[in-house]
A and B are shown apart, each in its own frame.
Chain A
Amino acid sequence: MKNIVLLSSAHLHADAYIHELSTVKDARIVGVYDNDTARAEAAGSRYGIPVFSALDAALDASDAAIICSENIHHEMFALETIKAGKHVLCEKPLATTPEAALRMVNAADAAGVLLMTAFPCRFSPAYQQFKQLVNSGAIGDIRALRGTNQGMCPGGWFVQKELSGGGAVTDHTVHVTDLLRDLTGSEVESVYCELGNGLLHGDFEDTGVVTLEFEKDVFATLDASWSRPKSFTTWGNVTLYAVGTKGTLEMDMFNQEGMLYSDLKGKVGVQNWGSSIDRGMVAAFVDSLLSGTLHEKAASGTDGLRAVEVVEAAYASTVALQPAKVNHRS
Chain B
Amino acid sequence: MNGPTLKVAIIGAGVMGQQHARSWTQVPYATVTTICDFNLDAANKLATEFHAVATASIDSVLASDVDVVSVCIPTCFHTDTAVKVLESGKHLLLEKPMALTVADCQTIEAAAEASGKLLTIGQVVRFFPEYENAKRAIDNGAVGTPAVVRCRRGGIFPLWGTWFHDVNKSGGAIYDVGIHEIDWLLWLFGPVERVYARSLTESLGEDSKQDFALVTLRHKSGVISHMEACWADPVVSYNAFEIAGDGGLLTHDSRNNATLFLSTAEKQEAMSPLADADEPYNKQVAAFAKSIVEGAPLAVTGADGRAAIAVAAAALESSRTRKVVTL
Contacts and interface: CB of A to CB of B under 8 A. Distances in A.
A279 B256 CA distance: 24
A216 B249 CA distance: 48
Given A249-B263, A262-B143, A125 B273 contact: yes
Interface string B124-155: 00000110111001000111100000000000
Given A246-B265, A247-B264, A273 B248 contact: no
B251 interface: yes
A56 interface: no
Interface of B: 129-130, 132-134, 137, 141-144, 246-252, 256-265, 271-275, 277-278
A247 B266 CA distance: 9
Interface stretch (A47-55, A253-261, A288-296, A317-325): A253-261
A255 B259 contact: yes
Nearest to A23: B277
B108 to A, nearest CB: 32
Given A260-B248, A273-B129, 11 more contacts: A129-B273, A139-B264, A247-B265, A252-B259, A255-B272, A256-B257, A256-B272, A258-B252, A260-B137, A260-B251, A273-B132
Contact of B273 (A126, A254, A263): A126
A279 B278 CA distance: 11
A276 B277 CA distance: 11
Interface string A118-131: 00000011101110
Nearest to A248: B263
Nearest to B241: A258
B264 A138 contact: yes
A273 B254 CA distance: 12
Describe B's contact surface by its main secondary structure: mixed
Nearest to A138: B262
Contact of B130 (A248, A258, A275): A258
A251 interface: yes
B249 A261 contact: yes
A133 B263 CA distance: 12
Interface string A235-278: 00000000000111111111111111111110000010111100
A18 B288 CA distance: 28
A271 B137 contact: yes
Interface of A: 124-126, 128-130, 133, 138-139, 246-265, 271, 273-276, 279-280
13 contacts: A125-B259, A125-B274, A250-B263, A256-B272, A256-B274, A258-B252, A262-B142, A262-B248, A264-B247, A271-B133, A271-B137, A274-B129, A274-B259
Contact of B257 (A139, A251, A255): A255
Contacts of B248: 260-265
B130 A256 contact: yes
Nearest to A132: B273
B275 A280 contact: yes
Nearest to B273: A125
A257 B259 contact: no
Nearest to B268: A247
Contacts of A257: 257
Contacts of B129: 256, 273-274
Contacts of A256: 129-130, 257, 259, 272, 274
A265 to B, nearest CB: 8
**3 closest A-B pairs by CB:** A247-B264, A126-B259, A275-B275
B280 to A, nearest CB: 11
B271 A260 contact: no
A262 B263 contact: no
A130 B273 CA distance: 10
Nearest to B277: A275
Contacts of A133: 260, 262
B144 A271 contact: no
A253 B129 CA distance: 16
A139 B262 contact: yes
A259 B251 contact: yes
A286 to B, nearest CB: 15
B253 to A, nearest CB: 8
A250 B268 CA distance: 11
Nearest to B128: A273
B151 to A, nearest CB: 12
A249 B129 CA distance: 25
A57 to B, nearest CB: 36
Contact of B260 (A249, A261, A276): A249
A274 B250 CA distance: 17
A279 B261 CA distance: 24
B262 A258 contact: no
A233 to B, nearest CB: 12
A250 B261 contact: yes
A259 B262 CA distance: 25
A251 B269 CA distance: 12
A138 B247 CA distance: 46
